């Protein structure tokens, strides 16, 4: 047993359920106290941990937890959604009563060392725009602003478009992707988001809570979207229409279909993220009933 006030750090490759509960509790406390959004991806990470059951040895450190005795007071995590070669995304938090003690600085130093050990490329730091302490820390590291994303939450169907299947259901066919579609999904990600990295397998992603759907018209693939569901909340990610099929209203059909699937799954909250400079997509989401709730800034850490 750790002494009551002894500080110590736990490093892990994957989260277990105990870690998940501790980090979630700290997240709830920080969000309530600061009124901010934290993009920790805990449900996705827990899904990856379940999938990895039986593996031994610490190959990569992704979870950095700072304890005082038995209390978790600081956390920083690494996410790398495109596999090796894709940017490392880091974010974290410190208990309000334990700030200004150098905890975040210690965790960041460990993350930076892990980046060098992996010989990783870009590392992005995520911070809610309204987080004064977070923005101040990022500034001190010398990280350069890269881009921002709005988080948007579905409130109600847009006035200009009712979500009735009869209007548009016969135009596109939606099917769940399988591993044979992995290269097509990677190709579309590269077109929409400029992402590079390992090819992810849809059936493996589904085990982590992320289901990918392809949209087809007359047998040809025209776009896709990803759905993630956990704890009554559903997220829409990776939505896009191939360039040769844009301008025909398919983006709206994909979005409405994604919302409908989440509603059928009884998700109480539905959310998505969109680049702040993507005015066209932002307007589409607003017209379909989504409202902005927060802005997440992305900063590129110094080499």
pLDDT one-digit tens code per residue, 66-88: 999 999 999 999 998 766 667 89
Q: Which residues pair with 298 in a beta bridge?
A: 126, 147
Query: Closest by alpha carbon to 22, among 56, 54, 62, 70?
Result: 70
Domains parsed from the chain with CATH numbers: 7-141 (3.40.630.30), 153-296 (3.40.630.30)
Cβ neighbors of 150 (< 8 A, separation 6 or more) are: 273, 274, 275, 276, 282, 292, 293, 294, 295, 296
Determine the Cα angle at 289 with ends 283 and 293, to 5°. 80
The per-residue pLDDT for range 4-41, each reduced to its tens digit, is 789 999 999 999 999 999 999 999 999 999 999 999 98
92-102: pLDDT as tens digits? 999 999 999 99
Q: How many C-alpha atoms does 258 have within 13 Å on its Cβ side?
A: 35
37-55 burial: b if 16+ Cβ within 10 Å, else e: bbbbbbbbbbbbbeeeeee
What pLDDT is stored for residue 163 in this prediction?
A: 45
pLDDT, position 166: 44
Residue 209, pLDDT above cutoff 90: no
In the predicted model, is pLDDT for residue 198 greater than 70?
A: no
Asked if residue 205 has pLDDT above 90, the reply is no
pTM across the whole model? 0.82
Four-point Cα dihedral 27, 151, 301, 94, nearest 10: -10
pLDDT, one tens digit per residue, over 162-176 is 444 445 445 899 999
User: Across the chain, what does the average pLDDT equal?
Assistant: 88
């Amino acid at each position: 047993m750790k002494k009551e006030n002894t500080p110590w750090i736990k490093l892990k490759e994957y989260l277990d359920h105990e870690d998940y509960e501790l980090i979630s509790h700290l997240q709830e406390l920080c969000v309530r106290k600061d009124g901010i959004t934290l993009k920790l991806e805990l449900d996705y990470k827990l899904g990856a941990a379940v999938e990895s059951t039986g593996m031994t040895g610490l190959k990569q450190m992704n979870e950095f937890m700072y304890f005082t005795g038995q209390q978790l007071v600081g956390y920083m995590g690494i996410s790398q959604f495109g596999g090796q070669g894709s940017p490392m995304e880091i974010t974290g938090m410190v208990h309000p009563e334990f700030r200004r003690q150098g905890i975040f600085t210690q965790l960041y130093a460990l993350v930076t060392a892990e980046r060098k050990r992996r010989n990783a490329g870009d590392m992005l730091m995520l911070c809610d725009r309204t987080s004064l302490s977070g923005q101040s820390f990022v500034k001190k590291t010398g990280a350069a602003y890269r881009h921002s994303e709005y988080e948007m939450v579905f409130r109600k169907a847009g006035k200009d478009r009712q979500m009735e299947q009869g209007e548009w259901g016969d135009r596109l066919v939606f099917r769940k992707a399988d591993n044979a579609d992995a290269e097509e999904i990677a190709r579309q990600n590269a077109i929409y988001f400029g992402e590079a990295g390992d090819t992810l397998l849809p059936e493996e992603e589904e085990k982590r809570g992320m289901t990918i759907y392809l949209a087809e018209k007359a047998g040809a693939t025209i776009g896709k979207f990803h759905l993630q569901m956990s704890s009554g909340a559903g997220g829409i990610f990776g939505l896009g229409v191939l360039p040769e099929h844009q301008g025909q209203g398919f983006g709206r059909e994909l979005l409405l279909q994604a919302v409908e699937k989440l509603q059928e799954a009884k998700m109480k909250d539905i959310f998505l993220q969109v680049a702040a400079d993507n005015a066209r997509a932002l307007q589409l989401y607003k017209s379909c009933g989504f409202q902005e709730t927060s802005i997440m800034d992305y900063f590129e850490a110094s080499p």
